[in-house]
Structure 1
């Protein structure tokens, strides 16, 4: 498969190098290079861009700010940061970046990051090809310094709290706490069974007790629907209607 990608960097030499690396990588389809994040944002909105090699320190809109904007959109492209400053690693984690290339880097390091993107997108395609009846019935998360198995049937809802998520379970007052982004966990959940209704909440559809035009009730917990998720939520209203 080919991955549509762009390069964004305000330094001409760095932009030229990354663009050259992309063009010599067979599974990457180069869609353009941009010297600032505003141009890149316009391109992402008008083109089918799946992957962005993104510098962080740029004028006007910096790379981290662009990543935050993209993280709130549907079908957001994946990000590989390219920067000379290593203090942004934690921020990159928060926006669910695929990787973090520290300048100066060579083609070997670039290819390692590109292969991580390739594995990610191939995994998505494979998951789409597997009938739901054969899907995994659980996921593993890191919690308390170990991998914990969470059965989908036991999930009530998942809550995001800054750098952490809380997985609230059926018949349990103690949620599983894991260092992860909500988006990363959402990608592991079957879309037919779970729905994101707020930037901080994903709910199990079959555990919903009642709904209104703007809220969802799960047991004693009442969750408001975020504005950007209301269109998707209308589908749930139609099911209940």
Structure 2
């Protein structure tokens, strides 16, 4: 996958370049030290991933990320910054990663692999539903609990399960009831979640495998949780096609 490095510090760009060169399957196609040159490089080189600094002279990386998101077939954005106070703002840019400098090789590898998988799956989903794919505005789900209103990062959500008039969101840190319908969630998060049953949606990027039990029924194995949502027979072929499973 092709990578564009955007950072106003030459030494920071060189360090990232050396790290990327050691990772098989990834290569740096261009560099830029400001937002304007970065947009030009994106148009010229069509990178798959942008490693983006936030604090730069002129327009900052958050502003640039918003412009990148508006591009057709936009590259994935991974922030690389020395400042952690921008993390919350980064949630609203559809970035797939947020790394603090000095970036460590193992962390860079992990987020690049994540971007690679996400990029492939989203592309397939967008082809199936180009009008709505990746148009999600919210980055958090709101749930009412005994402690009040809690914000659950969409990144942490693994699946939604409907039971009569309630929908339960299952995420990395537990589960909560929602006031929203499964249909509303499916429409809003098309391209990020896929329906596997009339009563459930799962996060596409967190699917690790499809498993089949002794009765021939398929289940989805999701990252970080033990539950295995059932795939109805009518949705098995769609899920396999989405994940390029033969």
What is the TM-score normalised by the length of structure 2?
0.54
Distance in 2 between residues matched to 1:77 and 1:129, nearest whole Å: 16
C-alpha deviation, 1:93, in angstroms = 1.1
2:25 aligned residue (15, 24, 27): 27
- The aligned residue for residue 93 of structure 1 is 91
Paired positions, count? 153
Over 3 Å counting, the alpha-carbon distance change for 1:188 and 1:54 in structure 2 is same
Residue 9 of structure 1: which of 7, 10, 15 is its match?
7
1:205-224 correspondence runs (5 A): none
Cα distance in 2 for partners of 1:186, 1:20 equals 37
For residues 166-205 of structure 1, give each alpha carbon's deviation from its aligned partner in whole angstroms, at most 9, with x where no partner exists.
97777xxxx66x9xxx6xx242378xxxxxxxxxxxxxxx
> Would the aligned equivalents of 1:19 and 1:33 in 2 still touch at CA under 8 Å?
no
Cα pair 2:50 2:75 within 8 Å, conserved: yes
SS in 2 for 1:148: strand
Structure 1 counterpart of 2:160, from 136, 148, 162: 148
Tell whether the 8 Å contact from 1:53 to 1:80 is kept in structure 2 after alignment: yes
Cα 1:33/1:188, change in 2 over 3 Å: same
**Counterpart-to-counterpart distance in 1, 2:127 and 2:60:** 37
Change (3 A) 1:114 1:149: same
**C-alpha spacing 1:107/1:119, structure 2 compared with 1 (3 Å):** same
Pairing partner for 1:188 from 176, 187, 192: 192
Q: Which runs of 5+ in 1 are unaligned?
A: 131-140, 151-165, 191-241
Is the contact made by 2:4 and 2:50 (CA closer than 8 Å) also made in structure 1? yes
The answer to whether the 8 A contact 2:122-2:192 is kept is no
Structure 2 regions of 5+ residues with no counterpart? 129-139, 144-151, 163-178, 195-246
Mean Cα deviation higher: 27-36 or 52-61 = 27-36
State the SS of the aligned residue for 2:89: helix
Superposed structure 1 runs of 4+ greater than 6 Å apart: 166-170
- Offset at residue 128 of structure 1 (A): 8.1
SS at match of 1:21: helix
- Write the mapping of 1:1-241 to structure 2, written as runs, cut at 5 A: 3-124=1-122, 144=143, 147-149=159-161, 185-188=189-192
